[in-house]
Structure 1
Amino acid sequence: MDVWHETDGLKRPGIFLVHGGWWSGGDKKYMTEITRSYAEQGYTVFNINYRLSGDAAWPAQRTDTLDAIATARRHAALWGFDPNNYVVVGFSAGGHLAAAVGTYGDGLPGLRGVVGISPVTSPMLAYEDGADTLDLSRRKLREAAIQLAGGCEPAKCPKIWASMEVSRHASRGDAPMLALHSEDEFVPAAHSLQLKERLRPFGVPVTVLTEPGAEHSSPMYRLPGVAETVQDWIAGKLL
């Protein structure tokens, strides 16, 4: 991971950024501009990589994201980071990992919130939506979810697919979440609305917002007002 931090001895809230790319591609270098924007706002920013699905199947990606957070908390003093005051922001497949961190166990110490930009919180829904469709992006996402599961489809590997489903891990200690989707993109808001319903009985708030159009992930984040909405939500969660 790349760590953007100050050396003035102060402890700052942290932001972990998780890139997208169908779980099989992408790299933290594509998040540099967004990383800089949060560093300029005074946060300690951790821009992370994780094992891609072509190298390791689930849950390696979640494991790596959790390990990045644990490493940052362990060396908090080195990077001017308040280990009890951070959020995780993920884009597309990275939004799935961010949400998976937010529902891991009964909550992570210090995690104040999760933001998903076009988050694929339900690989099973992606699998179902990608069947019998002419939408090439939905078909690609279906294949990407199968690859994440080690090439195994749900009927043969139900435990793996259950583990990949963020909503299956809902519990009372989970982190509040903000999810943003475009109205006509290939990762519909249904992903996040499903998670919202699963977290509702536990009193964990999930805010789902939609934007007009079909922009996905980073292009949607760059639409007028979207980044500001995310930044305001984050500021309201950090101490």
Structure 2
Amino acid sequence: MMPVLSVLLAAALVAALPCSEPAPDPSNTYDAPHTYDKLVRDYPAIQIAGDTLPAGVRKTADLTYAQYGARCLKLDLYRPAGDRLPVVVFVHGGGWKAGFRSEFVPMALRLTQHGYAAVTVSYRLSGEARYPAAVQDVQAAVRWLRAHAAEFGLDPNRIALAGGSAGGQIASLAGVTAGDAVKAIINIDGLSDFTSELALRYEDDPKKNPSSAGAWFGGRYAETAALWREASPIRYVHAGMPPILFIGSAQPRFSAGREEMMAQMAAVGVASDKVVLPDTPHSFWLFDPWLQPTVDASVAFLHRHLP
């Protein structure tokens, strides 16, 4: 009995410690303004999607969902009126090494207009903790939301994961390995198979030392192949897994493994959908006019699978 009490006491003491998020890293430039500067020449009609809080939507910011010593992992919660709301948890992109949870605020707010609570989460980036820390963090956020569902008027049995780019891959992997905790997944331009020829051409590019994926795994494919396989959502297709909506750009490299995963899902009787937005760059979900069709496809999917 004493060891159990000691563990519980230690956990309580850690939870009582003050904690904070790290200071902003000036080298972390994966956000809407920097991406806009890169894209506007080729797509002059784009506009950064708005993030003004709609009337009737409540924001609860900076909720700590996990703590490692003095390090906090936080999320922001957006809620329309109602109780036992279905929840969509958004995982930002940034090549596993960059990005901010604010990336998905515009999409989160648009989903609240359809009756969903929306959550944007931060997670440990590769410079702080390598794979599988980010996946574990997202699953910890889901557990925290389930545990605090009554407090915030959420339905603990209707939680979906969504993410873009690296966040799409993380959301997919966290969702397909989360048991019954996640009911649906939206993968926006995220990889499904790190080991496919298409993915390796870019993610294991010998000119990059390390590549973004290599930094996350702690080695090139030849050095850490088991991790590259283990982190591929396609490896976990099974009957009863959550359905997945794949929303893709016109850039093929980010759909690596998608068609094969959809075929495997169909073979075990699991639903999947695919929407590809023509003539779009990667990171299209940060901008109008592309955000609205992304939201429309997501809402239609969620109405079917997270009713």
- TM-score normalized with structure 2 length: 0.68
Partner Cα separation in structure 2 for residue 63 and residue 192 of structure 1: 23
Please name the residue that 1:38 is paired with. Answer: 111
Q: How far apart are 1:71 and its partner, in Å?
A: 0.4
**Pairing 1:230–2:298 present:** yes
Q: Which runs of 5+ in 1 are unaligned?
A: none
Please name the residue that 2:212 is paired with. Answer: 144
Please name the residue that 2:10 is paired with. Answer: none
Q: 1:63 aligns with which of 136, 140, 158?
A: 136
Equivalent residue pairs, number: 230
Residues 227 and 31 (structure 1), Cα distance of their counterparts in 2 relative to 1, 3 Å cut = same
Partner Cα separation in structure 2 for residue 23 and residue 65 of structure 1: 13
**Pairing 1:153–2:225 present:** no
CA contact (8 A) 2:136 2:174 kept: no
Residues 39 and 143 (structure 1), Cα distance of their counterparts in 2 relative to 1, 3 Å cut = same
CA contact (8 A) 1:52 1:61 kept: yes
| Worse-matched range after superposition: 56-65 or 122-131 | 122-131
**Pairing 1:78–2:147 present:** no
Partner Cα separation in structure 1 for residue 294 and residue 107 of structure 2: 13
Partner Cα separation in structure 2 for residue 227 and residue 237 of structure 1: 15
CA RMSD, Structure 1 to Structure 2 (Å): 2.6
Partner Cα separation in structure 2 for residue 216 and residue 35 of structure 1: 19
Q: 1:173 aligns with which of 221, 240, 248?
A: 240
Q: 4+ residue stretches of structure 1 with deviation over 4 A?
A: 219-222
CA contact (8 A) 1:130 1:139 kept: no
Please name the residue that 2:275 is paired with. Answer: 209
Please name the residue that 1:108 is paired with. Answer: 180
Q: Deviation string for 1:171-221 (max 9, x for gaps)?
A: 11211001011233541x343112212323221122222221142132478
Please name the residue that 1:5 is paired with. Answer: 79
Q: How far apart are 1:91 and its partner, in Å?
A: 0.6
Residues 164 and 220 (structure 1), Cα distance of their counterparts in 2 relative to 1, 3 Å cut = farther
Q: 2:195 aligns with which of 117, 124, 132?
A: 124
Identity %: 24
Partner Cα separation in structure 1 for residue 261 and residue 176 of structure 2: 10
- TM-score normalized with structure 1 length: 0.86
Residues 220 and 182 (structure 1), Cα distance of their counterparts in 2 relative to 1, 3 Å cut = farther
Partner Cα separation in structure 2 for residue 114 and residue 3 of structure 1: 18
CA contact (8 A) 2:114 2:299 kept: no
CA contact (8 A) 1:185 1:216 kept: no
CA contact (8 A) 2:188 2:246 kept: yes
CA contact (8 A) 2:172 2:185 kept: yes
Residues 131 and 154 (structure 1), Cα distance of their counterparts in 2 relative to 1, 3 Å cut = closer
Partner Cα separation in structure 1 for residue 187 and residue 231 of structure 2: 16
Q: Which runs of 5+ in 2 are unaligned?
A: 1-74
CA contact (8 A) 1:14 1:81 kept: yes
Q: How far apart are 1:156 and its partner, in Å?
A: 2.0
CA contact (8 A) 1:95 1:120 kept: yes
If you compute each CA radius of gyration, which structure gives the higher value, 1 or 2?
2
CA contact (8 A) 1:18 1:91 kept: yes
Residues 147 and 38 (structure 1), Cα distance of their counterparts in 2 relative to 1, 3 Å cut = same
SS of equivalent residue, structure 1 residue 86: strand
Partner Cα separation in structure 1 for residue 295 and residue 288 of structure 2: 6
**Pairing 1:49–2:136 present:** no
Q: Deviation string for 1:87-119 (max 9, x for gaps)?
A: 1111111000111022206x333x221111111
- Give the partner amino acid of 1:23: W
